[in-house]
Chain A
């Protein structure tokens, strides 16, 4: 092997080593963000907009908390931001988090007919938290109301849990069909 050929092979191996290292380093930094929330990266311009997020109250109802979120124009991105903010919990007093820690947004789709498919994931349990009907309605309609009232392109919501659509969410509400928002649960 000539000296020149040996140099080429050595250089190529070095390039692969450096490239692989950089790839691994970049993947670690960005990977959890992509995998954890099924987020897609968009080059769309983003803007700060105000959203009313409906969190459970102590009396079994829902109350809006106004939040400024940085969103793109795409309705799907807005739904994602709204759901992620809901799952992050309220900031104000007297409001409650929807779910225990660890519940994340697994997948999201917005159909042409205005049906938003929201897949919530919880590694700890196969099924949603056991509850009475008021608690179940607080959880479900917190999501449904917040999505439909904030994103006009979404008219109804199909809730999935760990990738599956169930007959009921926690033993009461029929979640086998798309859900519409429920104004009567809003606290006066």
Chain B
């Protein structure tokens, strides 16, 4: 009896064991991300209480306690939609959920936006490096294996600076060359511009530089700053060149246009002429782009089209055409626009060929950038822009709230101030393609295309046909057909060039063409400048007209 009971218990146990184990295995899995973690943050070796959230894009850190520990001020606007982080004298404006921030007057794009999270706003490590790192010389060392962020102040670097001043055709170019990228801030004031070192020290050249120039009175260099003293009425534009790192200032006389007292924010002036055009052959290298049914790769045809267009433009009009790539190589999107910016291009044209799922789609379409209006600040920005063009916009000079609002949306304006010109240019391209080639008009559209982001000039992406459509694929392989496409693009560029160069001088604030100005009308466009497009929710493609 006893034995029987023993064996019965054993059998029951053996049956229950797998059920228990299986039930354990069927427990719901932890969500992939974001997941709270037992992470830590140390500042100069001391652990500080900063919430950390691990997301698929990387770790996010609570900004509020970090700012307090690092001696920075963090304030929120009334609507709670943006925050201002003050690090020393530099203001960093952050929009919740927006990957664009402003650091001083610089627009910086983050690969991951700050988000609301545990204990307030949370920011990626890239944010910390671009703010506290660049402004105060902190290093941020994230170790994913132990989930720890170590923050330490780097020592100030001593670096030499070389100065070069050249005056040519009414423009003085001042080049400051550094052995590596310094941490600096450019401050402009009437009649002068200063480069202030934030966490590095300069070794001034000996003897001190003597400058004899019609536009630059003097250049003084001390360990903390470089100061360019300009002659009265001179204006300056600055930009950066890499390898080696150079900070360049182009100084020229201001245009003799009376400027009315305006708002604190001034929109960049419209282009005075079209001198440099950057043509971007889409894709390249292992990034083939679309592949047609017969195996034709988009990257090959776009390169041929771009080369031909560059050649035709230089033959027909007095412009410099620059290709972003002239070989079959991979080129990052941001490099393409950087090439345009560094060449001070007046137009950017990215050439592509399309494909769709299925073979029915055909025709051409032209895109310009869509900024995401989901962000309420972007929508307000667009509204403000539209109002301003209509002449009844917020007067930032008299309305502090409007001025603050405009300052807060600087990031958006960096992307959108060329949008109306891009739209006008896109209309001209689409008109030429429709009228001369009788292609199916798929319209002018907006989309958040990466290659159009960051272009500091009117920029479009043109899709010249569908490689997925066998008929269009065949036509696109025909050199004569491609020549017609190039002709249409060249005519559109010529028309836009003529429009810009015949336009009456714009006001000093860079507002649109004055009312009453006679402009050549693009097809189906009114003579009046197109209103600044309001980015559509979703920032996506617009329906064809």
Q: Which of A23, A60, A111, A133 contacts B22 (CB 8 A)?
A: A23
Q: How far is the CA of A38 from the CA of B30 in the complex (A)?
A: 10
Residues on A with C-beta less than 8 A from B18 are 18-23, 26
Residues on A with C-beta less than 8 A from B3 are 7
Q: How far is the CA of A165 from the CA of B111 in the complex (A)?
A: 9
Residues on B lying within 8 angstroms of A by beta carbon are 3, 6-7, 10, 13-15, 17-19, 21-22, 25-29, 31-34, 55-57, 97, 99, 111-113, 115-116, 282-283, 287-291, 298, 332-334, 352-361, 367, 372, 374, 445, 447-451, 453, 461, 463, 466-468, 536-543
Interchain nearest-CB distance for A135 vs B (Å): 5
Residues on B with C-beta less than 8 A from A88 are none
Tell whether, in the assembled complex, residue B28 and residue A42 are in contact, meaning their CB atoms are under 8 Å apart.
yes
Q: How far is the CA of A171 from the CA of B451 in the complex (A)?
A: 9
Q: How far is the CA of A107 from the CA of B29 in the complex (A)?
A: 11
Tell whether, in the assembled complex, residue B468 and residue A109 are in contact, meaning their CB atoms are under 8 Å apart.
no
Residues on B with C-beta less than 8 A from A42 are 28
Tell whether, in the assembled complex, residue A113 and residue B453 are in contact, meaning their CB atoms are under 8 Å apart.
no
Interchain nearest-CB distance for A34 vs B (Å): 7
Residues on A with C-beta less than 8 A from B356 are 56, 58-60, 132, 134-135, 138
Tell whether, in the assembled complex, residue B288 and residue A180 are in contact, meaning their CB atoms are under 8 Å apart.
no
Tell whether, in the assembled complex, residue B6 and residue A171 are in contact, meaning their CB atoms are under 8 Å apart.
no
Q: Does A53 contact B (CB under 8 A)?
A: no
Q: Which of B7, B291, B449 contacts A133 (CB 8 A)?
A: B449
Residues on A with C-beta less than 8 A from B6 are 7-8, 11
For chain B, what secondary structure do more than half of its interface residues adopt (helix, strand, loop), or is it mixed? loop
Interface residues on A, range: 35 or more
Q: Which of B13, B288, B358, B542 contacts A15 (CB 8 A)?
A: B13
Tell whether, in the assembled complex, residue A135 and residue B540 are in contact, meaning their CB atoms are under 8 Å apart.
no
> Of residues B298, B360, B448, B461, which shows the largest number of chain A Cβ atoms within 10 Å of its Cβ?
B448
Q: How far is the CA of A185 from the CA of B468 in the complex (A)?
A: 18
Q: Does A40 contact B (CB under 8 A)?
A: yes
Residues on A with C-beta less than 8 A from B540 are 137, 141, 180, 182, 184-185
The answer to whether A176 and B99 touch (CB under 8 A), given A23-B22, A59-B360, A113-B115, is yes
Tell whether, in the assembled complex, residue B288 and residue A130 are in contact, meaning their CB atoms are under 8 Å apart.
yes
Tell whether, in the assembled complex, residue B450 and residue A167 are in contact, meaning their CB atoms are under 8 Å apart.
yes
Q: How far is the CA of A7 from the CA of B538 in the complex (A)?
A: 72
Tell whether, in the assembled complex, residue A108 and residue B32 are in contact, meaning their CB atoms are under 8 Å apart.
yes
For chain A, what secondary structure do more than half of its interface residues adopt (helix, strand, loop), or is it mixed? mixed
Instruction: Knowing that A27-B22, A133-B447 touch, tell me 19 more A-B residue pairs with CB under 8 angstroms.
Output: A15-B13, A19-B17, A41-B27, A107-B56, A115-B115, A130-B287, A130-B288, A131-B290, A131-B355, A132-B290, A133-B449, A135-B357, A139-B357, A171-B282, A171-B283, A176-B99, A176-B112, A180-B537, A185-B540
The residues in A between 154 and 188 inclusive whose CB is less than 8 angstroms from any CB of B are 156, 158, 160, 163, 165, 167-168, 171-174, 176-185
Q: Does A14 contact B (CB under 8 A)?
A: yes
Tell whether, in the assembled complex, residue A96 and residue B537 are in contact, meaning their CB atoms are under 8 Å apart.
no
Q: Does A52 contact B (CB under 8 A)?
A: no
Residues on A with C-beta less than 8 A from B283 are 171
Q: Which of A14, A40, A163, A174 contacts B450 (CB 8 A)?
A: A174
Tell whether, in the assembled complex, residue A177 and residue B358 are in contact, meaning their CB atoms are under 8 Å apart.
no
Q: How far is the CA of A18 from the CA of B13 in the complex (A)?
A: 10
Q: Does A122 contact B (CB under 8 A)?
A: no
Interchain nearest-CB distance for A173 vs B (Å): 6
Residues on B with C-beta less than 8 A from A97 are 357
Residues on A with C-beta less than 8 A from B22 are 22-23, 26-27, 30
Residues on B with C-beta less than 8 A from A137 are 447, 540-541
The answer to whether A14 and B453 touch (CB under 8 A), given A113-B116, A165-B57, is no
Residues on A with C-beta less than 8 A from B333 are 167-168
Q: How far is the CA of A173 from the CA of B22 in the complex (A)?
A: 44
Q: How far is the CA of A60 from the CA of B25 in the complex (A)?
A: 44
Residues on B with C-beta less than 8 A from A107 are 32-33, 56
Residues on A with C-beta less than 8 A from B453 are 174
Q: How far is the CA of A119 from the CA of B3 in the complex (A)?
A: 57
Q: How far is the CA of A183 from the CA of B541 in the complex (A)?
A: 9
Chain B, residue nearest A137 (CB): B541
Q: How far is the CA of A168 from the CA of B19 in the complex (A)?
A: 47
Q: Which of A119, A130, A182 contacts B32 (CB 8 A)?
A: A119
Tell whether, in the assembled complex, residue B354 and residue A184 are in contact, meaning their CB atoms are under 8 Å apart.
no
Q: Which of A76, A177, A184 contacts B372 (CB 8 A)?
A: A177
Tell whether, in the assembled complex, residue A96 and residue B450 are in contact, meaning their CB atoms are under 8 Å apart.
no
Tell whether, in the assembled complex, residue B33 and residue A109 are in contact, meaning their CB atoms are under 8 Å apart.
yes
Tell whether, in the assembled complex, residue A132 and residue B358 are in contact, meaning their CB atoms are under 8 Å apart.
no
Chain B, residue nearest A99 (CB): B357
Q: What are 7 A-B contacts defined by CB distance under 8 Å?
A: A15-B17, A111-B115, A113-B115, A113-B116, A130-B289, A134-B361, A180-B539
Q: How far is the CA of A20 from the CA of B20 in the complex (A)?
A: 12
Chain A, residue nearest B20 (CB): A19
Q: How far is the CA of A176 from the CA of B372 in the complex (A)?
A: 13
Residues on A with C-beta less than 8 A from B26 are 30, 34, 41
Interchain nearest-CB distance for A148 vs B (Å): 9
The residues in A between 43 and 64 inclusive whose CB is less than 8 angstroms from any CB of B are 56-60
The answer to whether A56 and B358 touch (CB under 8 A), given A117-B56, A135-B290, is yes
The answer to whether A184 and B56 touch (CB under 8 A), given A130-B289, A132-B466, A174-B453, is no
Chain A, residue nearest B30 (CB): A40
Tell whether, in the assembled complex, residue B56 and residue A119 are in contact, meaning their CB atoms are under 8 Å apart.
yes
The residues in A between 1 and 41 inclusive whose CB is less than 8 angstroms from any CB of B are 7-8, 11-12, 14-16, 18-23, 26-27, 30, 34, 38, 40-41
Chain B, residue nearest A35 (CB): B29
Tell whether, in the assembled complex, residue B13 and residue A184 are in contact, meaning their CB atoms are under 8 Å apart.
no
The answer to whether A58 and B34 touch (CB under 8 A), given A132-B466, A132-B468, A180-B374, is no
Tell whether, in the assembled complex, residue B447 and residue A172 are in contact, meaning their CB atoms are under 8 Å apart.
yes
Q: How far is the CA of A76 from the CA of B374 in the complex (A)?
A: 22
Interchain nearest-CB distance for B378 vs A (Å): 12
Q: Which of A14, A34, A60, A156 contacts B374 (CB 8 A)?
A: A156
